[in-house]
Amino acid sequence: MSDNRFFNTHRPWEDWVGMLLGVLIMVSPWFPMQVSGAVDIERSHLVLNSFMVGMLVLGIAQLEYVALHRWEEVASILLGLWLMASPLVFGYAEDHWLQFWHILLGALVAFIGALQLWQDWNLSEQELAKHPQ
């Protein structure tokens, strides 16, 4: 029988996916299909929000790759939820493509964080310290 621990074990590729998502979030205001003028001076707050959330997601994923802690996974979930709520909070919901990208990327970040938290829920601190790089 095959080993059914694929989704039960925290794997390093999950951290790499988190890093990639962080980079994608940082550059999301400049994705193709954006409305022209989506990144003008009046809406620089959405660029700053995207950059800061992307940097935090990238940094937390790098920390998870090096030293695994449960707070990192909780922070990833919260950042994903914040990115999903950002179009409504900052008022750029009318920019449908950017709203779509932020909801999609935020959902992926929250999903990866929840998956990792579920995988590591029953591990002791010693087992978390043995996380493979």
Chain CA centroid to CA 53, Å = 8
Mean pLDDT of 68-86: 90
- Written as six digits, the tokens of 69 are 């802690």
Which pTM does this prediction carry?
0.80
User: How far is CA 81 from each of CA 18, 37, 51, 107, 111, rounded to the nearest angstrom?
Assistant: 14, 26, 16, 7, 10
Check residues 56 and 32 and name the one with the higher pLDDT. Answer: 56
Name the more confident of 27 and 94: 27
According to the model, what pLDDT value does residue 59 have? 93
More confident residue, 118 or 86: 86
Mean pLDDT of 106-124: 85
pLDDT of residue 1: 40
Number of H helices, E strands in the chain: 5, 0
SS3 content of the chain, % helix, strand, coil (to 5): 70, 0, 30
